[in-house]
A and B are shown apart, each in its own frame.
Chain A
Amino acid sequence: MGVVVVRFFGHFKEVAGRQEVTLHVPDPSSLNHIREMLEETIPSMKAIQKQVVGVAVNCNVIQGDVVIHDGDEIAFLPPFSGGDGTVVSEQASALGARPLRSR
């Protein structure tokens, strides 16, 4: 088993009712599995998944599914204050997005 921390920012923090949550997951796990576990742990997170403009693993924006390891930090990012919420790829690119499974 491994431990991953999911951090919340902006209004996601209020939806989640906390700043972060620690999940005990198999090591390795997939990001999709983590997402499912998160929604089981905090059901309110399910409703806001459509608002996620990017996912960061250890401060690197990733796209698609990736392998998550023990100790990783994950953040599902709400639209930034200056963005219009529709520039996911631009945000991801600017933040150093990594292709699928290349971490």
Chain B
Amino acid sequence: MAKIDIKQRVRIQKEPFSIEEEIEKIKSVSTRIGGIVSFVGAARDFSKGREVCQIEFEHYPIMAERALEKVREEALRQFPIIDVTIIHRIGMIEIGENIVLVIAAAQHRKEAFNACEWCIDRLKKTVPIWKSETTPEGKIWVEAHP
């Protein structure tokens, strides 16, 4: 089993991420992995009745990274999975670009599905990241998005 570098598994970054590369990385952790579930959040051009031109994310450095690591640690404790990757982008994001990636790897698909859903829900509730949308009417901060 390869040594796990948590910085590879949990990241907040401006740059786009490669879903395929991240899946290959998590697969290299263990040959016991038999089910991999990924969730990708992307920037859409319409939200709450408004056209959206651009989305910007900001985070509280250090605190957000810690919170994200905690999501991963809790997922590994709560679910019979092998590993989880969580990546969230910050900065200006164009419509259609990917924003967030969660990959859960387990021996079987059910645990991977459950862990993946739990991680994205938990991330949204507990990681100090804030989103603003640029609309034709101006910039709007989005704070309620269950």
Contact = CB atoms under 8 A, between A and B. Distances in A.
Interface of A: 7, 9-11, 14, 56, 59, 75, 77-85, 87, 90-91, 94-96
30 contacts: A9-B128, A10-B143, A11-B130, A11-B143, A56-B128, A77-B128, A78-B141, A78-B143, A79-B144, A80-B124, A80-B130, A81-B129, A81-B131, A82-B123, A82-B127, A82-B129, A83-B126, A83-B143, A83-B145, A83-B146, A85-B143, A87-B125, A91-B125, A94-B67, A94-B70, A94-B74, A94-B122, A95-B63, A95-B67, A96-B70
Contact of B60 (A9, A87, A90, A94): A9
A96 B128 CA distance: 13
- Interface majority SS (helix, strand, loop, mixed), chain B: mixed
A59 B60 contact: yes
Nearest 7 interchain pairs by C-beta: A82-B124, A94-B126, A10-B130, A81-B131, A11-B141, A79-B143, A59-B63
B70 A95 contact: yes
B66 A10 contact: no
Given A75-B60, A80-B124, A82-B146, 9 more contacts: A9-B58, A11-B130, A78-B141, A82-B123, A83-B144, A84-B146, A85-B144, A91-B125, A91-B126
Interface of B: 57-58, 60, 62-63, 66-67, 70-71, 74, 122-132, 141-146
A21 to B, nearest CB: 16
Identify the interface centre among B67, B126, B141, B144: most chain A CB within 10 Å of its CB: B126
Contacts of A7: 60
Given A95-B67, A96-B70, A80 B129 contact: yes
A52 B66 CA distance: 20
Nearest to A13: B58
A95 B126 contact: yes
A81 B124 contact: yes
Contact of B125 (A9, A75, A78, A83): A83
